[in-house]
Structures are given as structure tokens and as C-alpha cells.
Structure 1
Amino acid sequence: MWFKKSIQEVIQELDTDSINGITSKEAKIRIEKYGQNKLAEKKKKSILILLFEQINDVLIYILLAAAVVSALLNEISDAIIIGIVIILNAVIGLIQESKAEKALESLKKLSVPKALVKRDGRIIEISSEDVVLGDIVILDAGKYVPCDLRLIESANLKIEESALTGESVPSEKYAEDTLKEDDVALGDQRNMAFMSTLVTYGRGVGVVVAVGMDTEIGKIAKMLHDDSKNLTPLQEKLAQLGKMLGFVVLIICILMFAVAVIQKRDLFEMFLTAISLAVAAIPEGLPAMVTIVLAVGVQRMIKKNAIVRKLPAIETLGSVNIICSDKTGTLTQNKMTVTKFYADDTLDNILKLDANNFIHKRLIENMVLCNDATYSEDSQTGDPTEIALLELGFKFNIFKDSESKEHIRVNEIPFDSDRKLMTTLNEYGDKYHVITKGAVDNLIKICSYIYLGGHVVDFTEELKSKVIKASDSMSKDALRVLATAVKIEDSSDIKIDSMESELIFVGLVGMIDPPRENVKKSIEECKNSGIRTVMITGDHKNTAYAIAKELGIAEDSSQVILGAEFDRMLEDEVVDKIDNLRVFARVSPEHKVRIVKSLKEKGNIVSMTGDGVNDAPSLKAADIGVAMGITGTDVAKGASDMILTDDNFSTIVEAVKEGRNIYNNIRKSITFLLSCNIGEIIALFIGIILGWPAVLRPIHLLWVNLITDSLPALALGVDPDDPDIMKEKPRDQKEGLFSGRNGAFLVGNGILIGIITLFAFYIGIKIYPNSVTHAQTMSFVVLSISQLIYTLSIRHNKKSIFEIGVFTNKYLIGAIILGIILQNIVITVPFLASVFKVFTLTPNDWMFVILLSLIPLIINEIAKIIYNKIERK
């Protein structure tokens, strides 16, 4: 903890010289001992490893086994079709995820290429990678800090640390401070400067105390490197489904052989039948269907200003019940803005400021002229607080002397951290105005008069108390308050010592980093949808609470906690209190990760949004990390699952809607495919138990699963959005894919499809007792067409097909028509009929199978009416 040590202790411990620096020879020794000042690179994954990750799935393994067995049994066409499905799934996934993890590379790019150091008694410029422990580094405004430093000199030094700490206002640095506490947050370590932060004001000198992976940035890199890959809820459920199906396939094969022995059937024939049932149990098109639906969802998300980096992550937003959001740049604009003023005994909103009022104009002029920043619509440089004051002046056409050539600055007293004041002397025609701005308490002490009612009056204790009351009122709203005063002189020949005395108090301005537009509305919509918003920020407690209260995130100060306080909490305390906490202030990157993990351990699905380097580990630890595309650092983008191209919190709400709809669509498709497969299993298994010939051939099952089922399943995957989706609460992550009505739909329709398929075979055998092929053809057609028509009712488990609109999904209508046409071609084209071993049906046969195929649709629609009536009661 270098911030706890005095300057002399640091210099002695690192064996350096604050005047001359270390020698070049010593620098070479240290660079060999400690390594270069750069971040370690993560080993990139090869294409083969990435490809293996795509096929490393239980369902894929079962499909591979089925393909091998089919090839050994000389069913080459079956093996080829299964192989195509596997390749398609792997290629689509590989295209989406082929970009290797870029977080560490981005962190490396943040390092500054050059640094000014003292070596051999001289100041030289070297590559930042060659900076070593004990080097004496020179800091100036506009320069990035090349490594972690313990400051040994500082002069009005301010450093922008928002990317690391999340604090929007630059931190003032004081080399002389020695902090004694153990748990000082990064943003409060006033005697330290950290790698990749930016010097915005003043100058400083520091001794290098950490380089490369040992810096605060390096620690973040390690956290990114160490964090394991999280599975999304859908991935976990599909993995469980794959294991279940594998178990089902094994049981089916064992039962088939048992039946063969009992019924004294031909074992080879029963082996083929067992393979048929295995094929029926596995939804061959499921992996490809899920991947394609997610890929289509990615394209839809891009149109809504959200880029999804990893395919499975798209559904995760639909199930989140907590959004952890960074404050600076995410909920707020990351731009200091003047929002209130006090002048002429009036405290009001900045919109009431009137440039025609002499005192109001004087207030604006003072803030603009006593200012070292620069501002234009295209570019701004300097301290964000001073830029905010120039922006205020710009709105009233009041500019600095360098721009207007009026009120030229002829002398100044620079800002000093002890005085907390800055003073300039400006030309005003034949007069000269001494303008001072700074901290309220300090400025009041040097004021003898005040502008009131257009006149200069004595600054009495009563008037001073009014000013302090106005300042306190602004501070309670977490505004940063600055005061200003003026003194009019006849000559520029005025002594420095007498400039800051006998001043006329003008007024106050209060500023804050304001919330983004529409954020409050989005947070309210999230709340109504059962989604809790939690603010995590590096800002001070009061500032964070004021913003959170304004946005509707927090209602009471008890819902706010400091990062250090949270860090000291025991696990039992965290479990008890974390559900009530809404704001975490003054947090470090480690705190953010613990917060996210603690929320996840409580059974929540957590999204984390952020833009800074300090957000990267928590973005990676969350179920889904969301980075800002405009203000976001490359590190945050690299660690995220999704990037918002418009940096708008409101886009998250649209992403949630899209995620929920995509998940529902995938669930519809999976329910459809599995219910169809259950129907196939029931038809085959019961047929064998009854001693019938095979109700369906293996090639019939493969045709239905890969062709007839796949097209409607894909069409269900792109079903139009449900307008009522945000009226639902987030899904419980423990909720299965088939909980509630979905399970009833799945099993009930599977049984129904199996029964009507068996009935078609039974009628076929009765009508054509000498033609098993004719009966198999009837069951084949009923199985495929009933499944096609049944898709119309599975689009919604509560609304009827007329409520959602029969033709609102044109892709589905097209898939049904195409499926029926393809089915007809298979049984009517002689060459295909011989391959599939089917019989041409008569018109009466067609009439019968179509009526039979309508039964699942009709029964489903009746069931919805009954279900809805029961629920309403």
C-alpha cells in the first residue's frame, strides 16, 4: 500500500534518487528482473479449438453417433444429411464467435507509447514499456500516466480517472499527503497516479511503484484472464436436454432388444428399428435451428442499436431481473453541466438565468473569464468543470478573451489547492476587473460587498448566511458549487497580494453530471417488468444517491452503501442486505465483481452495463455484460457480450424485449420439435408392443425430422414480437423450458400426434390388408401434415390463432404450404416413391389423412379456451 508510505520511505524502499533518478545501467538490470512495463497477452485460441467448442455438445455427439451407425448400416443418405446438419451448426456458430477475446489486447493499447523520466541526472523521453520500478516520471497536463506512481511533487495537479474509478470529476492530487487508512478507495488515493489515466491540469513528479501486470490496470487484466466462461440459461437448459435425450435413446434401444427377445423377432430387424426410434428421439434440426434463430435475432438487434458479440447471449437479456449499471457515461452524460445558480438573492434553475440582468450577466462573465479551459462546439480541452462554465457562456454568446478579443487577461493568480481559489485581472475598457472564482467558504472570507438589486451593498453576516444556505441547498442535491466575486480597479498596476481582498460577491453556480434523456422512463419500464436497476459507481455517496433518487432507482439513503463498507461485510450480511441495496458508491473493480457475483448467488440473472476500464471485470462476471459503443473503452467492449451503439440506457429495454421474444420463439420451436418426436416414438413403440409391422421406416422419420419439421421450426423462431411481452415478469432461471403450459403442450400434443399416426396405420391395414407399404404411407403423411398444421396453434399458449392472426407469420404459412407440397412430391414422383418406399394415395385416402391431421389444431384451440377460463376463475 504505497499511499500509506511517506515520500522518503518510498524513495528509500525503491532505492532511487528523486533529483537524478536511477542510472541507465540500473534500469537495464531492473527491466531484466521485473520485466517490461506492458500487459501479458492471453494466448489466442486456434481455429480448431474454436471449432471444437462449437461441436462440444451432447446433442451433437448423439447426432455423430447416429451418423456413424447409419453409415455402418449402409444408410449413406441418412449419414450425409446428419453430417450436413452438424457442419451447418458449427459454421454458423464459428462465424459469430471467431473473433478471439480482445480485452487484454485493448488494455495493452491503452498504455502510453512515451514517458518523460529522469535518468543519469537528465530528463529523457523513453518508451513507456521501458519504464522500471524506481524511475522518476514527469507529468504534465495532456499526458497519460505510463504506470502506477507514488507522487513526490505536485502543483495544482488534477488527473482524469473516470475510466479506472468511474468518477466523472478529475481527482485533485497532493504529493505531500500520507494516508493512514487501510481501505482507501482508488478514487481517494490522492498521492497516487495510475497507469492509463490522463493529466488534465497542473504538473507533477512521481516515483514508479508498479509496472505491467502489477499496476491497477494489470490487476484488471488478471481478473479478465482468470474469469471462467459463464453459460447462459438457454445453453444450460439445452445441455440438460441433450443429456436427457441421450438417456432416452439408450433406454429405447434396451427396450427394443428386450421386446425382440420376448416376441422372438429377427434381432437385426429390431436393431434397425431401435436405430429408427433413436433417430425419432433426437431432434436432428434442433442445434442448427437454435443457432439460426439466434443469428437472425442478432441482425434484428443491430437495427435496434445493439450489437451482440456472442450468439447465446441474445436470449439472456430476456431473462435478467437485475441490471447493474455504471453511473458515469451510462445513466449520466459524462459531461459536467451547470443546472442551478444563485445571484441577486435568488436560487433558481439555470434556465431562469437572464443575460439582460446585470448581475446574472456578471455571474456568467466571471465564470467564463476566470477560466483556463477552451471550448468550441467541435472540441473542448481542460478541466470538465471549467468546460461546463464555458459552455454556459457559449449559450449566452459570452466568450473568453482569446475568442472575443475583449476583456483580455493581463495578470492572474493560478488556482492553488490550499487557497482553493483562482483569480484573473481582465481589461474592461479603461477599467480593470479582478475576477475570482473558487470554493464558497474560502471566497466569502475575502468579500466585503455583494451585488443586490443592481447595487453594491455591504456583505453583512445575514447576507453571508443566505449565500451559505443556498450553497448547502445545492450540495444536498449533489451539485458541485463554485462561487465568484469581482473588484473594479482603475489601473492594471495592482499588487498580487492585494488582488484577493475587498471583493464584491456576485453569485454561485451548481453543476452535476446530469442523467441521460429517457433514462428515467426506461428505468420505470424495467421496474414495471419486474427488473431491478442497481447503480454501481466510483462517485461519492451523496452524488450517487442524488442521481439515483432522481432516476427512481433509490427511494431512501439506507439503500446506498460505500464499496469499502460492502467489502467489509461478511457473506451472511451480504445475503441478508443485498436485496435492499440499490446504489454502490466509491467502488473499485474488485468491489464490482463481488457485487455482481453476490447478486448471482442469490439466484438472480444479472446484466452489467458500463463503459470504462474499471467495468471490464464485472462485465465479464455478469450473466451478460453490456458495453457502451460510443464512450466505451475497447477494454469494456472486448469483455462484453453486447454493445449499445447509441450509448442509450433505453436501448437496454428494447434489448430486453427482443431477448424475451427470441427466447419465447426458441421455446416454441423446441416444444414443436420435441412434441413431434414424442409422437414418432409413441407411434413406433406402441406399434411394436402391439406386434404390428414397423409403422414408419427410418427414412420416413429422417425426412420428417430434417425437412418437414425444420422449416416450420425456423419459421416459429422468427415469429413476430408479442406486444404484451413486457407485461410478463422475468423468467425464473430455475424454470425449465417446458414449465407450466409448455410441458402440457409438449406431452399432450406428442401423445395426440402418436395416436392419430397409429390410427392412420391401423385404418390403412384394415383397408389394404395385403399392403403394409400403403398403411405406412398413410401414417407417414398424417405424421408430417398434422405436425405442419399444428404449428399454427403453438405460436401462443394462451391466445387463439385468430387473436394473433393466422397470416401474421408469413414465413410459417410458406413453410406449411411448402412442406405439404414436398410431402406430396415424395409420394407421387416415382423415383422418390421408390427411394422412400411409399404408395400413391387415392383421393379418399387424402381426404381421410387431412381430416385426421386437423385434429391436433382443433383440440389445441379448444384446450386454450378451457385453460383461460380456469385461470380467470
Structure 2
Amino acid sequence: MMAVSLAVAAIPEGLQIVSTIVLAIGVQRMVKFNAIVRTLPSVETLGSTTVICSDKTGTLTQNKMSVVEGWPEGPDSDKATLLEVSLLCTDAHLKTLAGGDYETSGDPTETAIIQAGLGLNLNKNDLEKKFPRMEEVPFDSERKRMATINQMEAGRLRVNVKGGLDEILSVTTRILIHGKERPITQEDRETIEKENSRMAQSALRVLAVAYRYIDAVPSPATAQTVEKDLVFAGLLGMIDPARPEVPDAVKKCQTAGIRPVMITGDHRVTAVAIASEIGMYNPGEKAITGSELSLVSDENLYQHVRDYSVYARVAPEHKVRIVRAWQSQGQIVAMTGDGVNDAPALKQADIGISMGIVGTEVAKDASDVILTDDNFATIVRAVEEGRRIYDNILKAIQFLLSANVGEVLLIFIATVLNLGNPLSPILILWINLVTDSLPALALSMDPAEKDIMTRKPRNPGKGFFTRGMIWRIFYQGVTIGLISLAAYLVGYHDGGVALGRTMAFTVLGFSQLFHVRNLHSNRLSSFHSSLLSNKALLGAIMISALMMFAVLIIPSMMNIFGIVAMDTVHWLITAGLSLVPILAVELVKWAGINHSKDEY
């Protein structure tokens, strides 16, 4: 029977159950602030995140585009042509409501164009009825252009194209100025580039627009056959304001030792302007475009990846390289994405984060976390929650293992001294599975410590058995074991094995219920934490205490567990011994040796 007791004491039966339930409770909590965690281990990984690679549009910004500027300045006819070409080259939808108001849906860039058109009395629906679409070449992230072919006045066919400036200029041969077309010159191109930079430096997203008339629809209608010899119509500058909560979230990241990185399809100047505004880009740091990234070898990128805070004009395939480059430096990378082509990068990242609003199903399936509000601040909040959950799992592990150490030590010493069996297997199981499990679970509800986002991310390669963790499990377990042994010796001396076993069981159970209060912080006194800061834990302690009293007082339960009644003196002795762990841990904390330097 002694061997069975020792085996039961050595095995933390509730540890696996408690750890899993703590993670599940954390996942439920994350849902409340718009983060859906699809895999339980991701909760732990979130707390270790060191790099967050985030899309700009909709995640760092509000994704509420509005056209605020156009170029070139000229007669209204030029502005009308610029917007007409843009409107005919959009897939967003315009709906007229009962009261005469309008409702738009679709890509925010295109809905902004529709709204700008309404300001000049250009209704997209009316235009498409008047000038029907005959063919189209859809947008793709590689060429960064979209083209449609519409039948205009007198049956003429016109190619309408919009896209990134560099991509449009590369297929442009003429320009529309003051209502007249003429060959585009190098001076024109320099002027256009200058205007683009001016808008971009004001954090505007710049869209270039061009067109050309053709005699017939090419067969096949491809980018090569349609998007060539274009007439440059102008630029549209759109504002997409940063989310107001993002600058604070970026600061919190940096304070927590997390490197935020912007990845966007926008022009470099625009991306840098937004990144500077929200604190993600600082003087001395670098920005790189997708085309430049394609020319950089993997080895070079791995060596210099820390230099880049902004990646502009990036295609989805570049994201995988960026993730691998950071991972080569030993970093834990979180990557956001919403498109089908983002799936490989989301899979490659340690934490793939997809967008719940604009994300595709493929992206969601490839991700570990889904943001239901598409907000960067939610990512940071999820990282903070991941750290809190990990801390609380460590508390539960420390609590359960220190109890097991105490049980093993008690039985081992009693065996060596030939003092009988201080704990029967059923008493140990009662403590491990019933009395201890509820407080261990309730520790998952502990609030985060105030400095949780000022610590550096933990290194997952080190595991959770740090020197400090081992030390705490050891000395706290020894304390619990020795006071339980002391209770057993008193009872053994006064009333034999039965009374000794009863007193040891009482002290072992209640000392752990007092000891759980020590675990709120490894550095601060437990008296710094209010009893009401974790109401779930307070309730768990009370329920566990009632169950202990049930075993110690109710005759039928006493018979089942082999417990005998104690008099007042022995109750007082067990109560005094049960308080010892609080005094011991407080003393160790006061001495500053309750934790190791590598933990904080």
C-alpha cells in the first residue's frame, strides 16, 4: 500500500486536464475581444511573439477610403474624364436606397471612386448602362493593374485602366492635358512622379488612371494585348486614416520587445508616411519594395532583415521570404493576410492571422487566429492575453507540482523512519483531483500583472522549467511536505497512525488552499493582491475547503476515507501549520530569491 501511495503522490493526475482547460478558457476570453483562436497551442505561441508583420490597409488603417485630391489640375472636362475612366474600371457596387441616398459595397478603393463620382454627378450605374462593359482583364497583385473595355459613344471601344503609378507609366505612351492628347515626355514623367511623391508624403494612397481607344476587342483579351500604348489621364489621391488606437498599440509592442513591421501593396512613399505617423517607422530604418526584394538573395535578406520596417509594393510570394528571414534570426513571427495567395505565408508563420471581415475562406483555413474586426490593436491585445494565459498555466503547474513534491517527501520520510503510511491512496487522489484541481483551474482567471507588456518575449526554446521555476517547486514543495510531516508526527504521537494521517491530510489540503494565494506574483507579496481580484479563485478555495471539511466532519465520509475526529487542540495545530507556506513564501519574496534573473 505504501508503494501505491508513493506512486499516486508522484503523478500529478490533474495537470494535463488543468492545462488543457486553462487554454480553452483563454480561447473563450479572446473571442470577447475579437480574436478567434483556431488551435489551442497558438495561445501559448502568441505570448512568445517577437515580430508582427502586418498588412496596412484595414489592419493599421480604417479601410475607409475617400478621394481628396486629383491631378492634373485643369478644366472640369479633364476631371470628368479621369473619374469616368476610373468608374468604368471598378467592380464595386452602387445601390440607390428608398430615400434617395446611396449605398456602396466592394473594395474600399473602388467605393471611394464611386463616392467621388457622385460628387461630380457621375453615377456608376448610369455610366455602365450608357457605356456597357465588353471585356475585362481582372486585377492581380503581380501586375497591379485592372483593365476594362467599354463601348463608348458611336460604338467606339475604349480601354479603361487603373493601377499603381509605376505599372501604369510602364505601358503609357501619351498623356491627356487640358483636354488634348499628346506624346508623353520625360519631363511629363518627372512631373507625374513629383506629384505622386507629394501626395504619398501626405499619406495618400495614389492611383494612376489611363485609357486608349481601340478598333476591336483583342482575342484573347490579356494584359499584353489590352494594356499597352495608353493615354495617361491623371492621378487620384485617397486618404485612408490610421486607426486611432494603432499608435498606442505600436508603442505597446515596442515596449514589450515586439518588432512591428508593415507589409503593403502601396507605394513606398505612402507606406513610409503612414508607418511614420503610427510610430512603426523611425529615422535610420529602411523601406524596401517588392521589386527590390526580388533582387536580394535569401542569404543577404536573412542578414539584413532587421534593417527593414516597411515592405512596399509587396506580392504575396514575398511574404513567405520575409517570414523565413525573421525565423532564421530565431524570431517568433506573426503574419497577417486576407487573400488566397497569402495562405503559404500564413502557414509558414509561427502565428498566421487572417482577417474575419475581408479575408477569404482559404486564408482563414490557413491561419491560427482570425480577427473579427481586422484590427492591429486586437493582435497586440491577443499577444498580451497569450502572455497572461501562459503565466497562469505556469502558476497552475507550479501549484500542482509543489503539492506533489510535498506529498512524495512526506511519504518518503515517513517510510524511511518506519512511521507507517501517512497518506492512503484515496486521500492523495482526493487532494490531487478534487481539492487542488479547482484552485488550479481558477488560477487561469488571474488578471495579468501590470508589467506583462514591459517584459521581453520569452524564449520558447528554453521551456518553462527555468531555474526559478524549479527552485519554487522545490522549496515550496519541501515546505508543504515538512509541515505535513510535522502534523503527522504530532498526531502519531498523540493518537497513533489514524490521528497522524488525519492531521497530515488536513494540513496538506488546507496549506495548499492558503498557498495558492502566493502564486499571484513571483515578486510581489500576495498581500498586494486583493482577494476579489480573482473571484473565481476565491470561490474555488471556498468550495475546496467545504469539501475538505465534509471529509473531516461528516461521519459517513470519515469512514470512507479512514479519517478520525480531532479535538480543538489538534484543529488549532493543523490551522497554524497550514499558514506556514504563506509566511515562508513571503519571506523568500522579501529576500528577493523567489525568482531567477532569466525570468524577467
TM-score category (smaller protein):
0.7 to 0.9
| 1:2-55: CA deviation from partner (whole Å, max 9, x where unpaired) | xxxxxxxxxxxxxxxxxxxxxxxxxxxxxxxxxxxxxxxxxxxxxxxxxxxxxx
Read off the aligned partner of 2:206 and give its amino acid letter: R
> Residue 535 of structure 1: SS of its match in structure 2?
strand
TM-superposed deviation, 1:565 = 5.7
Kept in 2, the 8 Å contact 1:421–1:442? The answer is no
Q: Is 1:400 matched with 2:123? A: yes
Give the deviation of 1:698 after TM superposition: 1.8
Equivalent of 1:681, from 392, 408, 428? 408
Q: Which whole-Å CA distance do the structure 1 matches of 2:295 and 2:73 have between them?
A: 48
- Classify 1:447/1:465 alpha carbon distance in 2 versus 1 (closer, same or farther; 3 Å): farther
The question of 1:737 aligning with 2:473 is answered no
Aligned to 1:294: 23
- 2:250 & 2:151 partners in 1: Cα distance? 43
Measure the CA separation in 2 of the matches of 1:527 and 1:386: 34
Which residue is equivalent to 1:388? 112
1:834 to 559, 569, 581: 559
Are the structure 2 counterparts of residues 706 and 421 from structure 1 closer, same or farther at C-alpha, using a change threshold of 3 Å? closer
Asked if the contact 2:117/2:124 (under 8 Å) is kept, the reply is no
Does the 8 Å contact 2:56/2:263 carry over to 1? yes
Partners of 2:109 and 2:24 in 1: how far apart?
A: 45
The answer on whether the counterparts of 2:205 and 2:267 sit within 8 Å (CA) in structure 1 is no
Give the secondary structure class of the aligned counterpart of 1:583: strand
**1:623 has 2:350 as partner:** yes
Shift of 1:529: 1.6
Equivalents in 2 of 1:566, 1:469: separation in Å? 24
**CA 1:379–1:760: 2 relative to 1, 3 Å:** same
Matched pairs, number: 542
Q: 1:533 to 1:720 in 2, by over 3 A?
A: same
Alignment partner of 1:596: what SS? helix
- Structure 1's unaligned 5+ residue stretches are 1-271, 346-358, 427-435, 450-460, 486-504
Letter in 1 for 2:483: I
In the alignment, structure 1 residue 597 sits paired with structure 2 residue 324: yes
Long gaps (5+) in structure 2: 96-101, 138-144, 155-159, 163-167, 181-185, 212-231
Q: Could you tell me the TM-score, scaled by structure 1's length?
A: 0.55
Q: Which of 206, 226, 231 in structure 2 is aligned with 1:480?
A: 206
1:375 equivalent in structure 2: 94
Secondary structure of 2:103's aligned partner: coil
How far has the Cα of 1:746 moved from its partner?
1.9
Given that residues 82 and 234 in structure 2 are in contact (C-alpha distance below 8 angstroms), is that contact kept between their aligned partners in structure 1? no
Aligned runs of 1:493-572 on 2, under 5 Å?
Answer: 509-511=236-238, 515-537=242-264, 541=268, 544-555=271-282, 559-562=286-289, 572=299
Counterpart amino acid of residue 304 in structure 1: F
Q: Deviations over 1:845-869 (max 9, x none)?
A: 1111001100111222233233299
Q: Does 1:788 align with 2:513?
A: yes
Q: Percent identity?
A: 42
Alpha carbons of 1:849 and 1:554: their partners in 2 closer, same or farther (altered >3 Å)? Answer: same
Cα deviation, residue 667, structure 1: 1.0
**Aligned AA for 1:274?**
A
State the 1:828 CA deviation.
Answer: 2.5
Task: Look up the match of 1:304.
Answer: 33
Q: Which residue of 2 aligns with 1:806?
A: 531
- RMSD value over aligned CA atoms? 4.3
Q: What's the offset of the Cα at 1:597?
A: 3.3
- Cα distance 1:415–1:576, how it changes in 2: closer, same or farther (>3 A)? closer
Q: Using CA pairs below 8 Å that are at least 6 residues apart, which structure has the higher relative contact order?
A: 2
Aligned residue in 2 for 1:705: 432
Partner SS, residue 374 of structure 2: coil
Larger Cα Rg: Structure 1 or Structure 2? 1
Mapped partners of 2:554, 2:131: distance in 1 = 97
Q: Which residue of 1 aligns with 2:2?
A: 273
CA distance in 2, matches of 1:443, 1:569: 34
Deviations 1:352-410 (A, max 9, x none): xxxxxxx7x777655444542463443457x976653332244x4733386599xx979
Q: Does 1:693 align with 2:412?
A: no
Compute the displacement of 1:588 (Å).
Answer: 5.3
Q: Give the Cα separation in 2 of the matches to 1:699 and 1:415.
A: 76
Tell me the secondary structure at the aligned position of residue 809 of structure 1. Answer: helix
State the match for 1:583 in structure 2: 310
Is 2:547 the counterpart of 1:822? yes
- Partners of 1:669 and 1:869 in 2: CA distance: 16
Q: CA deviation at 1:296?
A: 1.5
Q: Deviations over 1:319-342 (max 9, x none)?
A: 211112234554456676424445
How far did 1:784 drift? 0.6
Task: Name the aligned partner's letter for residue 296 of structure 1.
Answer: I
Return closer, same or farther for 1:401/1:821 CA change in 2, 3 Å cut-off: closer
Does 1:651 pair with 2:378?
yes
- Alignment of structure 1 residues 186-201 onto 2, 5 Å: none
SS of residue in 2 equivalent to 1:307: strand
Residues 744 and 618 of structure 1: is their aligned pair in 2 closer, same or farther, counting only changes over 3 Å?
Answer: same
CA contact (8 A) 1:364 1:393 kept: no
Q: Secondary structure at the match of 2:54?
A: strand
> Are 1:748 and 2:475 an aligned pair?
yes
Correspondence for 1:606 among 321, 329, 333: 333
AA matched with 1:805:
S
**Cα distance in 2, alignment partners of residues 817 and 564 from structure 1:** 64
Q: Which of 482, 499, 509 is the matching residue for 1:774?
A: 499
Taking structure 1 as reference, are residues 826 and 399 closer, same or farther at Cα in structure 2, changes over 3 Å only? same
CA distance in structure 1 between the aligned counterparts of 2:535 and 2:467, rounded to whole angstroms: 28
SS in structure 1 of the partner of residue 122 of structure 2: coil
2:583 corresponds to 1:861: no
Alignment partners' CA distance in 2, 1:778 and 1:475: 76
Contact kept, 8 Å, 1:421 with 1:443, in 2: the verdict is no
2:226 aligns with: none
Partner of 1:226: none
For the 8 Å contact 1:626–1:643, the answer to whether it is kept is yes
Measured against aligned partners, the alpha-carbon deviations of 1:583-633 in whole angstroms (never above 9, x if no partner) come to 345555554334323423422222121111112122222222111111111
Question: Take 2:72 and 2:303, find their aligned partners in 1: how far apart are those partners?
Answer: 48
Contact 1:437 1:443 survives alignment (8 Å): no
1:74-113 deviation digits (Å, cap 9, x = unpaired): xxxxxxxxxxxxxxxxxxxxxxxxxxxxxxxxxxxxxxxx
Partner of 1:258: none
Post-superposition offset of 1:719: 1.7
Cα offsets for 1:701-747 (capped at 9, x unmatched):
11111111111101112223434422322222234324364443222
Aligned to 1:338: 67
Q: 2:55 aligns with which of 309, 312, 326?
A: 326
Q: Map of 1:239-278 to 2, 5 A cutoff?
A: 272-278=1-7
Question: Are 2:501 and 2:563, in contact at CA under 8 Å, matched by a contact in 1?
Answer: yes
Cα distance in 2 for partners of 1:646, 1:338 equals 24
**Aligned with 1:727: secondary structure?**
coil
Which residue in the other structure is 2:218 paired with?
none
Q: Is the 8 A contact 1:559 1:581 kept in 2?
A: yes
Task: Report 1:414-493 matches (<5 A).
Answer: 446-447=177-178, 469-474=194-199, 479-480=205-206, 482=208
Change (3 A) 1:717 1:506: closer
Conserved 8 A contact 1:529-1:726: yes
Mapped partners of 2:136, 2:40: distance in 1: 52
Q: CA deviation at 1:312?
A: 2.3
Q: Distance in 2 between matches of 1:481 and 1:601?
A: 36
